[in-house]
Structure 1
Amino acid sequence: MMFDAKGRPMRLLPWVNQSGAPCYLSTDDPDSRMSRLADEVEADLLDSAEYVLTEARELLAEATAGERELRFAGVRLAESLRDTLRIATSRGERLEAGLTLAEDEETVAYAAEHCSCTSEA
């Protein structure tokens, strides 16, 4: 997690700069113009990833799919995965920054009580 000069957590944005480095936003206002823009871009990227996945599954189901089509689908899937992972990282960091220790402990206690998941080693 990155912090600004005032010690506030910075939001990882869903885009990179011209040299490919991550971009961050420092704001206390989740409804600021830039925050809303980032939310909209995230939604568009997730919609795009869903579309790419649907199309790739259809292509992979075709026995006659050629190497070029499969390579193109693979590249688009990799791009979508990269974008989705960046969004997941950003949202995870914002969740961590927003939870107090007490809230985090309450969440863990609730999950332990209500989750029917099992783990296997």
Structure 2
Amino acid sequence: MHSSPLIKRAAGERYHPESFKQRWEIVKKLGEGGFSKVTIGKRRSEEDSVYSGFGPKGTSVEQGENEVAIKCISKEDMRNGSESEELVAREIQTFVTVGDGFPYIAQLYEVCEDEKFVYLVMEL
């Protein structure tokens, strides 16, 4: 379950196939819930700290915004029923549909996956 078609479809243009660990560094943990944790993260390379032409209008990290919130959702918990893949896809779709342009909803910048987690990279 490395790449989930359901997650990829929900994220659309925000799905990023590159390795999460190559692109992002986790700086510190903000909090933890039943099936996920939220961390502060930053881009690994300085030249990547600003997205050029990434995603739909309004979803790029602005210059000077080097830190993001990263929600790390356990795939093991998704497999064991604590949280279903469908609910995670619905959460992603909600961010994509409702989040753009609303001042009190965090922007979803990108979605990545690896063998253990689905990562939602969002506005801090």
Q: State the TM-score, normalizing by the size of structure 1.
A: 0.28
The structure showing larger relative contact order (alpha-carbon pairs under 8 Å, at least 6 residues apart) is 2
Q: TM-score, normalised by structure 2?
A: 0.27
> Of Structure 1 and Structure 2, which has the larger fraction of its residues in helix?
1
Larger Rg: 1 or 2? 1
